[in-house]
Structures are given as structure tokens and as C-alpha cells.
Structure 1
């Protein structure tokens, strides 16, 4: 597959993942699917905006760059027809690194949040984190420790798990594009840009 075509495919995959990450993070601001009585009742990790910044905003720019590489006609510099195309592929590796960092940030935040558990009201009426070192993950009977908000444990667990998976997939895709970009930098795309008027490979 041409390096440009591969990048376009990766970019097209990253866009819906970024949107899904944004939505998942936004839903976490509504613990148990309800409006929180107090912002202090929302799990701390939600405020780190892992899905909004990491999976979303920092991923949108690399995705758009990847999508545009296939039709990039910036070629022809220093007498070398493929120079512009190679530079564009090199630039994509930088954006891939940015995307990888963003996805990694969300991945770590989500892993910490899952292990820590949600913030909720316990039997003595106080709000805190009743679970320790992920003990609630294998013992659903412990979920009853959270009295309010209702269903906050499965709500947070599901959404943070989605962010964790999205972060892992996005890191893999960005790593693939980093390799693809390096190959495109060294070898060029499999066909010359139209503005150069060339018919053969670059």
C-alpha cells in the first residue's frame, strides 16, 4: 500500500475514535447518568480531561494531517520531484508522536481511574473513594459501598474502559503512522504527485 494511502486510512479511523473519546469524557461529568449535585462529587480523574484533550483534541490534528497526505501535492524542491512529498511524510511522524502522547495520557488517566474506582457517597454520609487497588473489579458485592450516585460504579467503569481501549488503539495507530511516515520520508510515496507531471514512482 502507498504510504499516503495508508496514512489516509489511519486518519479516517482516528476521527471517529476521537469523537467517541470526547463523548465518553463528557458523559463522565454526569455520574450515573445524572447531573451532579456538586462538582466535588465528580471523580477527580474526570477533570483531567483525558478523553477530551488526549483522545480528542490532540488526536484531531494528527488525523487531519494523515487524511491530507494522500492528496498532498507539495512536491518539487531543489530539483527533486518527491522532495515535498517526503517532507510531508516526515512532518506526519511529528504529528503521530503528538497523537501518541495524547492517547497515552488518556490511557494512563483511565487506568488510574479504573484502579481507584469512582468517587461516591458511603454509609456515613461522606464522599470519597471506598475502593482500594481495584478490589471492586473482581467483587461486585463491594459496589454496594457506593450509595450515591446510583449506578456510578458501572457507569464510570464502562466509560473509563472505553477511554482506555480507545487510547490503546490510538497509540497503535499513531505508532504505525510514525513507521509509515519514516518509510515515506526515505522511499517516497508509491506514485508521483500530479503537479509534477510525473507518471512513474517517486
Structure 2
């Protein structure tokens, strides 16, 4: 059963770059084309201010990352069931964080960017239910920031994929942790009865 601790540690190491990429993608959303003026003038999509990638897929994901990685540093196996219970709670926190990131990224994608059009600063795609994603010819109505639709769509799709991967990894650890926490005491009883 000690191998499950090593497996959990490897899941933590896999989550770390995903969390860092979520943070980076969210930060890039705040600065379209590297410009700070749109952030200063609050010309970003409203859902970006909820920081799905920075908070949910990034910082909150550091809870399971540190928990999973620290499990691998324990050299004893006698309390593996207890450690796995902690990893189950951390996996739930990770699932909440990645779910938050996924939902907010999807909502931001459906809303579309806030941009300057011939009608002024508006959300030109907010009422079409995401159909603009399949109609790239309509993206040209956003005059400023330049290529904002491509910028947002690319980064939000990356966030959706990262959040989905994070969720699956945490779900996997939830299953492993529950099985280990439940089955480990049974194994001890069997080992005790064999030695008795």
C-alpha cells in the first residue's frame, strides 16, 4: 500500500505545472496584448474579475499540490490510511477550485470580450449564446483591443482544458485516497490475525 503514497506524490507533481499555467493564463487575460491600459480603465470582461484561473485553478490548487507532494516525504506506512484521509480532503478542495475555474472560464467564453465597436465599449457577443465562436468573421467588429477575441478565446480554452485536467487528477486521487483509507485498516486486521 505504500505505493499509493508514491502515486499520490506523482499526482501532486503533475498538478503543480497545471496550477502555474492557470495562474499565468489568468494574468495574461488581465493584460490584452500586453497592454495595461485596459486593466486600468476596467475594459475587461466582467467574469475575468472573478479570477477563475488565478484563484480557483491556481492558488486554491496549491492546497492539494502541497498535500499530495508532502505525503511522499513520509517514510513510514503505519499511518497511511490517516494520510490518505487528508489527501481526500485536499482532493475535494482541488475539485472545487478546478470546477470554479472551469465554470468561470466557460461563462467568460460565452459572454465574449468587452471591446470597442462602432457603438462604443460594449459586449457585442453577449446575447448570441456563444455562436460567435463558430463565426470568426464577426470578430472584426471588435476594433480595440486589437485581436481581443482571439486573445480571450485562446486563453479561456487553455483554462478550460487545464481545469478539466486538474479536476480529473483530483478525482483520481479522491478515488485512490478513499480506497486506501477504507481498505488499509482491513489489511492491518488480516496481518494481525496472520501473526497471532
Unaligned runs of 5+ in 2: 189-196
Distance, in Å, in 1 between the alignment partners of 2:73 and 2:137 is 55
Contact kept? 1:24, 1:51, Cα under 8 Å:
yes
Quick one: which of 125, 130, 147 aligns to 2:124?
130
Contact kept? 1:36, 1:42, Cα under 8 Å:
no
Quick one: which of 84, 90, 98 aligns to 2:85?
90
- TM superposition shift of 1:73: 4.3
Q: Which residue of structure 2 lines up, in the alignment, with residue 195 of structure 1? A: none
Task: Please give the root-mean-square deviation of Cα atoms over the aligned residues, in Å.
Answer: 1.8
- Pairing 1:33-112 to 2, within 5 Å after superposition: 33-37=34-38, 38-73=40-75, 82=78, 84-112=79-107
Quick one: which of 118, 133, 139 aligns to 2:135?
139
TM-score, normalization by structure 2: 0.87
Unaligned runs of 5+ in 1: 76-81, 193-202
Residue by residue over 1:97-146, the C-alpha shift from the partner in whole angstroms, topping out at 9 and shown as x without a partner, is: 0000000000000011111111101112x211101211211111100110
Q: Which residue of structure 2 lines up, in the alignment, with residue 178 of structure 1? A: 174
Distance, in Å, in 2 between the alignment partners of 1:101 and 1:144 is 36
Q: Which residue of structure 1 lines up, in the alignment, with residue 159 of structure 2? A: 163
Contact kept? 1:3, 1:183, Cα under 8 Å:
no
SS in 2 for 1:40: coil
Contact kept? 2:112, 2:123, Cα under 8 Å:
yes
Q: Which residue of structure 1 lines up, in the alignment, with residue 9 of structure 2? A: 8
Distance, in Å, in 1 between the alignment partners of 2:146 and 2:36 is 12
Point out the structure with the larger helix share: 2
Contact kept? 2:81, 2:182, Cα under 8 Å:
yes
SS in 2 for 1:41: coil
Q: Which residue of structure 1 lines up, in the alignment, with residue 115 of structure 2? A: 120
TM-score, normalization by structure 1: 0.85
- Pairing 1:182-201 to 2, within 5 Å after superposition: 182-188=178-184
Contact kept? 2:9, 2:71, Cα under 8 Å:
yes
